[in-house]
Structure formats: C-alpha cells, structure tokens
Copies of this chain bind each other. A is one copy, B any other.
C-alpha cells in the first residue's frame, strides 16, 4: 500500500504499533502535542516543507521564520508548558541568498525573544527542497493532555479560528487585509494556556493547526462533543472576506487551520474575555454541530 492511501493518521498508527522499544525516561510518547519526559520536560518536533507548507515566492523569509517557530511553540502551549530552547535543522538550496537565511533567523528571533527561547543547536544541509525542522524543549509542571474530557465539560476556544485561513487566501490573491498577519505571524498561546491552568481545571487541550474540527477529533475522553454554530466567534473582517472568496464563515471556522489558537475542555465557566464557549461534552460519540453528526475533514498529509 502507498502512503497516499494511508494518510498521515494511518501512517502514525503504523509507526505506533510497530515501535516496541521503551525508555524509562518517556512518560508519554507518540500521540500527543509533545512527548512528556521525566522531570517535567516536554519536547515537540515539526517540519515545514516548501511546496507542502509554504511557497518560496509567496512567503517573506522573516515571516516564514516567525510562523514556523510559532507553530512549534504552539505545541508547547497546547500542553500548558513553557519553552526553554529550540533546535533547528535547515535543508536549503545551494544558490539561496545568504540574506534569506538571516531574515528567516531574525523572524524566529523576534518571537523567541518573548520567551527567552535560545536556539541551542541543529544543522544545515544542502537539498533541492527547502525544509525547516524545529524541535522545542519545554517544561510543564502539569502537562495538559489531549485525553481527559468528562461528560458535562464545556468546549472552549481562544481567539477566532479561520482568520489564518482567510489571511492565506488573501496573501495568495494579493488582497489587503489585517488577516494576512494572522496567517504570517500567529501568536502561540503560551501565556494564555498558563493563565488557564493556573485558574481553572482544564481536562484536555490541543492547538488548532489543521482546523477546529480535525483537531477536536484528536481529543479523547468521555462522550461526544456537541458544538453550537451560533456560538462560533467571528468578526466583520471575516464576514467581508467570506463574501469576497464565496466562503461560509461557519465552514471557515471549522475547517480553516494554522491559527494556533487553543481548543480545550473544562468543567468551569471560564471568565477570560479571549475565550469563547462553543459547545459541551454529552453522552454520545463523535462530533455534532447543532445536534447533527458531522464528518471530520481537514488537512491531512499524503492525501
């Protein structure tokens, strides 16, 4: 069987099943946003490949650096951790201008500075395809897992997912809107996640990388998730761009992706203004929107 028939999830399942060697240093291995190590360390690794995740012609290197590090730090946020340092492997064309690399690094540095996150090592290799792989080492006293929701929990989201997707469409079509910056400079919700766990009980959490629906489907625990579309956050600029691109705002919210907002469940009424309740956990299975079962679709590699 070829990988495109398996899809990314299928491939990860195969690897998970095949791998037998265990280490006493790993508390939680493959399957969550980060691996959880002994002593409260967490680690995540992400790759960004030209032609799959970005296009050389479209993405300014400074923003590409910011964006790729933000995506990686977001995995640390999804476990309510803090980043300590990161590692960078760059596969680059031989004839790439040096300036491209320094701009990429400077974009990463702007973001890294906010968290005192040092570039501690890595590698540069020559290749025919630009590829950026980032590994982040972080720390979380009580890492929040993807698994753990209970019947009666509420489902919450930070910010307004969908903005990044519309921003990308605008970027590709050279339309001016503030949403382009939501795509190019997403903020990993590191501080927000820590504020949440300090004040409330968070039973499960994930960040929105592939889209609200597909990322919600990766949460595990009791019952099913019942979303109410009238509760989905939106704003006038989203409405305007949905008109321009003939997109449906509810669809954009559910299937967008790359927002790096947090999706989580909690039994508490959350009082932060940047958090919106979008549903509840009830008896059942799967994900429902306005009481109708929904098919999970979003971005998946190899498909």
Contact = CB atoms under 8 A, between A and B. Distances in A.
A52 interface: yes
Contacts of A8: 124-125
Contact of A35 (B22, B25, B87): B87
Per DSSP, chain A at the interface is mixed
A208 interface: no
Contacts of A118: 19, 21-23, 25-26, 29
**This chain's copy number in the assembly:** 2
Interface string A1-17: 11110101001101100
A70 to B, nearest CB: 15
Contacts of A47: 89, 91, 123, 125, 131, 133
Interface of A: 1-4, 6, 8, 11-12, 14-15, 18-26, 29-30, 32, 34-35, 37, 39, 41, 43-49, 51-53, 84-85, 87-89, 91-98, 101-102, 105-106, 109, 112-113, 116-129, 131, 133, 135, 137, 301-302
Contacts of A14: 98, 101-102
Ranked 7 nearest A-B pairs via Cβ:
A23-B118, A35-B120, A35-B121, A25-B84, A49-B127, A4-B94, A133-B133
Given A23-B117, A35-B120, A118-B21, A2 B94 contact: yes
Contacts of A117: 21, 23
Contacts of A15: 101, 105, 119, 124
Nearest to A23: B118
Contact of A124 (B12, B87, B121): B12
A186 B254 CA distance: 48
